[in-house]
Amino acid sequence: MLTHPAYARPETLYEALLFLKTHGIDTRPLAGGTDVMVDLRAGKLKSEYLLDISRLKELQGIGLSKDGLSIGAGVTISEIYNSPLVAKNAPSLIKSCAFFGSPQIRNVATIGGNVGNASPSADTVPPLLVHEARAVLASENGERTVALANLFEGPYRSGIRPDELLIRFILEPADGRFTDFQKIGRRKALAISRMSMALLADPKEDGTLGTVRLALGSGTPTPMRMEAVEAFLKGKRADRQTVEAGSRLMAEEMVRITGRRPSTEYKEKAVQGLFLRILAPLVE
Amino acid sequence: MDTYSVIPIRFTLNGDKVSIEAGAHETALTVIRERLSLKGTKEGCGMGECGACTILVDGKSVNACLMAAPQLEGRTVMTVEGLGREGKLHPLQEAFLEHHGVQCGFCTPGLLMSAQSLILETPRPTHKQVVEAISGNLCRCTGYQQIVDAIQYGADKTGGEE
Ligand SMILES: Cc1cc2nc3c(=O)[nH]c(=O)nc-3n(C[C@H](O)[C@H](O)[C@H](O)COP(=O)(O)OP(=O)(O)OC[C@H]3O[C@@H](n4cnc5c(N)ncnc54)[C@H](O)[C@@H]3O)c2cc1C
Ligand code: FES
Ligand code: FES
């Protein structure tokens, strides 16, 4: 059953933020609608208002500056996929967009909506995390910038306050370092069989690894960086032994963070397989 | 700012200007199928999975079942009814018939719109591009091979006419 939220279409960001200041708690922002409309149809949307932010210019645009690669929250998955600037500076993000939903979904779904929905399996999030993305949020009081890693509060709890909108993300460019994204399992497949991973690494001349950043999706309550594994790999050569030890540590860390569940046995194997696959190009 | 339970929306549908009042609880699909009685666009899953409801909005394929009706404001929309002309099928439609891309036909309008969206961007798509372009459209009958053939053949014919 559809509920009947009222509809509001602000002309400017300021108008949207003023609306949220008074009605934020009763409002769901509407971007591409690929999560919101599914919830609405399922009767899971309890908000009084839908605030259509899909046309706000302030949420659009991809650009590169000395701060980093900036991607507007309202940019669609298709736009990211077709952006030469993203291809050059964040190839793993491009890859997460290539395997995202279907063409019809990619044409409307936004990166802001992907983060805003805060699903444990949101595909753009692991790449954003390895690029140390910062989220710029605005309310009528002004802007705040938060490391994306510190924004999420839990599964489907984005940490965006009711009076705020996501405006853009700022990513640290890859700068020639190795980056990749891998996923297994389709979205509709049982949660147990899904998993995603992003890697950014900097192999040195002498074969050891400089920077290593590794983020896991669908293995933990929210996508997150696996810092213990990063520390373990850093400064080591990516030989088979190290990578295999790394994959075991990856599984241990996942279980330590998430706890044991009936699905754990499967997930332990999946996370190790995905880890070996994503590191394979770096193994001597 | 005002809020609306229903709001006037104006858009272009298959070349004609349309004005209608609709609310955010209605989808583009309900407006097109139920209110404007264009039955070519189908409702399958109603949740973005099957592609039966695919329409073109400003030339891009989208799932009408996931679009709030007021989001149509100012857009140029094409449904399967806008593809051919009275008495003359579009080359893509002819190709679907010739290459046996239609069995029960439920998925066909959505597939035609995904194909049209592809051809607008890539007039001569490769096999891989066709497969990718229809990856959001389910067909329970054909097994897709005939559909892919039809689209490639139809693309050649469409290109040939220009
Ligand atoms: C068939 C199908 C396939 C899908 N496949 C995938 C997939 O492969 N990978 C994947 O990760 N996801 C997938 N999804 C989920 C969904 O498409 C994504 O999460 C998408 O990125 C949501 O973006 P949207 O613009 O449609 O968000 P909306 O539905 O408009 O919004 C989602 C949430 O974010 C909030 N929000 C949106 N923008 C902002 C903003 N600027 N500031 C604050 N809050 C905001 C909304 O209020 C809402 O709570 C799929 C969905 C469907 C229906
Ligand atoms: S009815 Fe819209 S995708 Fe199935
Ligand atoms: S022809 Fe029957 S679903 Fe495709």
Residue A277 has pLDDT above 50, yes or no: yes
Cβ(A80)–Cβ(A111) below 8 Å = yes
Please give the pLDDT value at position A190: 59
Do A104 and A153 have their domain in common? yes
Please give the single-letter amino acid code of residue A59.
L
Question: What is the ipTM for the molecules in this complex?
Answer: 0.96
Ligand 2: centre distance to CA A99 (Å): 19
Q: Is B91-157 assigned to CATH 1.10.150.120? A: yes
Q: Are A52 and B132 in contact (CB < 8 Å)?
A: no
pLDDT 10s digits, A172-204 = 999 999 999 999 987 665 566 789 999 999 999
**Comparison of pLDDT for A3 and B61, the residue scoring more:** B61
What distance in Å separates the CA atoms of residue B64 and residue B77, rounded to the nearest whole number?
A: 10
Q: Are B70 and A103 in contact (CB < 8 Å)?
A: no
**Based on the structure, what is the number of domains in chain A?**
3
Q: Which of A171, A194, A214 is the last residue of a domain?
A: A171
Give 3-state DSSP helix, strand, coil % of chain A, rounded to 5.
40, 25, 35
Report the pLDDT averaged over residues A221-246.
96
Q: What is the domain-level CATH number for residue A144?
A: 3.30.465.10
For B3-82, CATH gives 3.10.20.30
Residue of B nearest to A53 (CA): B71
**Average model confidence (pLDDT) for chain A?**
95
Do A161 and A85 have their domain in common? yes
Q: What is the domain-level CATH number for residue A33?
A: 3.30.43
pLDDT 10s digits, B149-158 = 999 999 988 8
Do A43 and A61 have their domain in common? no
Residues 6+ apart with CB under 8 A from B18: B10, B11, B12, B36
Angle between helices B91-98 and B145-161 (to 10 degrees): 140
Ordered by start, the domain boundaries in chain B are: 3-82, 91-157
Q: Please report which ligand is nearest the Cα atom of B53.
A: 2
Q: Is residue A239 part of a domain?
A: yes
B31 lines ligand 2 (CB under 6 A): no
A198-222 b/e (C-beta count within 10 Å ≥ 16 → b): bbbbbbeeeeebeebbbbbbbbbeb
Q: Are B24 and A50 in contact (CB < 8 Å)?
A: yes
Please give the pLDDT value at position B162: 46
Do A182 and A146 have their domain in common? no
Report the pLDDT averaged over residues A261-278.
93
Tell me how far the alpha carbon of residue A107 is from its chain's centroid.
18
pLDDT 10s digits, A99-142 = 899 999 999 999 999 999 999 999 999 999 999 999 999 999 99
Boundaries of domain holding A71: 57-171
Looking at beta carbons, which residues of chain A come within 8 Å of B22? none
Q: Please report which ligand is nearest the Cα atom of B28.
A: 2
Q: Residues with Cβ within 6 A of ligand 3?
A: B 102-107, 139-142
Report which of A133, A265, A263, A150 is spatially closest to residue A198, judged by C-alpha positions.
A133
- A244 in contact with B, Cβ within 8 Å: no
Q: What is the domain-level CATH number for residue A199?
A: 3.30.390.50
Angle between helices B145-161 and B108-121 (to 10 degrees): 50
Ligand 2: centre distance to CA A30 (Å): 19
What distance in Å separates the CA atoms of residue B39 and residue B32, rounded to the nearest whole number?
A: 8
What distance in Å separates the CA atoms of residue A184 and residue A277, rounded to the nearest whole number?
A: 11
A75 lines ligand 1 (CB under 6 A): no
Do A164 and A194 have their domain in common? no
